[in-house]
Amino acid sequence: MAMDTAAPEQATEGTDQELTDGFHLVIDALKLNDINNIYGVPGIPITDLGRLAQSEGMRVISFRHEQHAGYAASIAGYLTQKPGVCLTVSAPGFLNGLTALANATTNCFPMILISGSSEREIVDLQQGDYEEMDQLAIAKPLCKAAFRVLHAQDIGVGIARAIRAACSGRPGGVYLDLPAQLFAQTMNAAEGAKSLVKVVDPAPAQIPSSESITRALDMLKSAERPLIILGKGAAYSQADDEIKALVEKSGIPYLPMSMAKGLLPDTHPQSAGAARSMALKESDVVMLIGARLNWLLSHGKGKTWGEPHTKKFVQIDIEPKEMDSNVAITAPVVGDIRSCVTGLLDGMGADWRAPPTAWTDAIRTKVQTNVERMAPRLRNNNNPMDFHGALGALREIIKERPDAILVNEGANTLDFARSIIDMYKPRKRLDVGTWGVMGIGMGFATAAAVETGKPVLAVEGDSAFGFSGMEIETICRYNLPVCVVVFNNNGIYRGTDVNPTGGADAAPTVFVKDSRYDQMMAAFGGVGIYATTPDELTRAVNEAMESGRPTLVNAVIDETAGTESGRIGNLNPASKLAKK
């Protein structure tokens, strides 16, 4: 398919009229809205969109697979509150990006998947166009909103609607369908410029009612054993100072969900992180701030939460439909987190009393006991390393470099790292999120480096790494300050499974033993290091963080050290069978 990439400024015959085209209108509309990065994979019909975007000063990061470009865009949205843009080709490219769009929606990250598509007339009659697919219909159930633009003069409005849908209310993924013929459409340049929309206030404040604030404060005041749970919505809201002030003024112990770690430092005296089970079970009033009562919180019921029906919940969320989704919410506070937290702070007044010390002391004692019990395990220098020894080393690195961004996925590698590595600053921990999805690693690492310029440490299970491993070429190509540590235990959970039939095939959960992932990095000109002890690991990662060079450390982990499914083995159907 030939493409018309003629410069838009050219005069049409016989007139002085300057023209613009679909390509330029898309780029101008994004730039007008301060969207300056595109993550994608080139091809028909969007190759020239990427080229022109780069020539117009946008940063265009080309990946090896759309899923990783999509994950990159989604986490860019989470980090910046501006929708991250992923650009894909039709049908297969679009489908590859769609997983990331659905994941963004599930995690409440603002993102726009822009995909080229085939000609409507042919797609709708199913006449077999190049990469034919009814993409709009397929995307719709998997995202917050889906739009298609058919005319160049509607590009401005189309992009404005996509931005608003992604950012306002509960953030999420938006699909924008741009058929191939749109890019080549021309129109008067001055008219084109006027058709663009600069979105004013894309995520308007949503002020909670004063009744809801009073109701919440009354409940917190009456509590004997209150607890605050901070979720990634709280981290996303960037109301860091207000949240810190609320926690500290209230004196209430708090638990951070995985990606909310660091909103207050994990070493904060009110952190109940190391006393999670006790805090959940024994609390009487729980205030959720930007966290859903989904599977990650055992749906707010069951053994985790102690005596049934005794717990009362306050929930702060921008999405009214979230309330009562799993258990009754006694004090819903619907609004944006900054406004809600500010409202609570204002309402607390000078005579606010901290919760009973019997409760706060009990939590603190439990935290201290657990931290002390763990400490010697984190200092072990075993060879091969176990999870504790290796993560004990990385924990010190993040302590010394609190600005670094930690990307984390795997099963044991994820669960141990979450509890062992303390975070000190907001939005520094990026992980598998609500779905527990493997494959976010290199996409998240790339976007974290591109969007923040800070060093990135990606701690990856060997299986988890495999989902996006080819993107280390992308990391080398853009020379990003990313250090990947692959926890190589020869497989999924452990490396010890054997084929029970004695046949030649390997067991389904194991990989080639003693693989050298470090050599993959070396193949692309990055630094590859093989580490067998915590000391070697420390040296290698420090060097990488210092130099900023793309690095992969193959960390040899004892193949017997892990447990089935990490810490969620209870969700395995087989574990239920065994109990019967």
d(Cα 572, Cα 577) in Å, to the nearest integer? 9
Angstrom distance (rounded) from CA 106 to CA 503: 41
Should residue 452 be labelled a site residue for ligand TZD when binding is judged by CB under 6 A? no
Residue 481, binding choice from Mg ion, ligand ADP, ligand TZD, none, Cβ under 5 to 8 Å by partner class? none
- Nearest residue (CB) to Mg ion, 273 versus 461: 461
In contact, 86 and 72? CB cutoff 8 Å: yes
Please say which residue, 22 or 491, places its beta carbon nearer to ligand TZD.
491
| Closest to 475 measured CA to CA, from 433, 509, 432, 526 | 526
What is the residue-wise DSSP string for 436-471? Answer: T-TT-HHHHHHHHHHHH---EEEEEEHHHHHHHGGG
Binding to ligand TZD in span 326-365, by CB under 6 A: none
Our finding on whether 461 is near ligand TZD (CB under 6 A) is: yes
Neighbouring-strand partners of residue 341:
none
232 binds ligand ADP (CB under 6 A): yes
Distance in angstroms (rounded) separating the CA atoms of residues 156 and 85? 15
Q: Where does this chain touch ligand ADP (CB under 6 A) — which range of 30-38, 255-263, 483-491, 505-513?
A: 255-263
Q: How many CB atoms lie within 10 A of CB 178?
A: 26
Q: Rounded to whole angstroms, what are the CA distances from 283 to 170, 204, 272, 304, 329?
A: 28, 34, 11, 11, 15
- How far, in Å, CA of 310 to CA of 306, rounded? 8
Give the C-alpha separation, 118 to 148, whole Å.
Answer: 12
Name the minimum Å distance from CB 487 to ligand TZD: 5
Q: Which amino acid is at 27?
A: I
Q: How far is the CB of 536 from ligand ADP (least distance, A)?
A: 34
Q: What share of the chain is helix, strand, coil (3-state, %, to 5)?
A: 45, 15, 35
Q: Which two tokens stand for residue 442?
A: 């290199």
In 118-266 the beta strands, taken as DSSP E runs, fall at 145-148, 173-179, 186-188, 226-230, 254-256
Contacting residue, 37, 67, 413, 452, with ligand TZD by CB under 6 A? 413
β-sheet bridge partners, residue 405 = 456
By CB under 5 A, the count of residues binding Mg ion is 3
- Within 437-466, the residues that bind Mg ion by CB under 5 A are 461-462
Helix (H, G, I), strand (E, B) or coil at 428: coil
Choose the stretch contacting ligand ADP; rule: CB under 6 A; options: 53-61, 312-320, 489-497, 551-559. 312-320
Q: Is 562 in the site for ligand TZD (CB under 6 A)?
A: yes
Considering the complex, what minimum distance in angstroms separates the CB of residue 562 from ligand TZD? Answer: 5
Site mask for ligand ADP (CB under 6 A), range 390-429, x = bound? ----------------------------------------
Residues between 487 and 526 with contacts to Mg ion, criterion CB under 5 A: 489
| Distance in Å, CB of 491 to Mg ion, minimum | 5
Which of the choices Mg ion, ligand ADP, ligand TZD, none does residue 291 contact, using the CB cut-off of 5 to 8 A by kind?
A: ligand ADP
Assigned token pair, 566: 């990490």
User: 284 or 322: whose CB is closer to ligand ADP?
Assistant: 322
| Footprint of ligand ADP on 151-170 (CB under 6 A) | 170
C-beta closer to ligand TZD: residue 438 or 458: 438
Closer to ligand ADP by Cβ: residue 295 or 376: 295
List of residues contacting ligand ADP (CB under 6 A): 107-108, 170-171, 231-233, 236-237, 257, 259-260, 290-292, 294, 296, 317-319, 322, 336-337, 434
List of residues contacting Mg ion (CB under 5 A): 461-462, 489
List of residues contacting ligand TZD (CB under 6 A): 410-413, 436-439, 461-464, 487, 489, 492-493, 562, 566
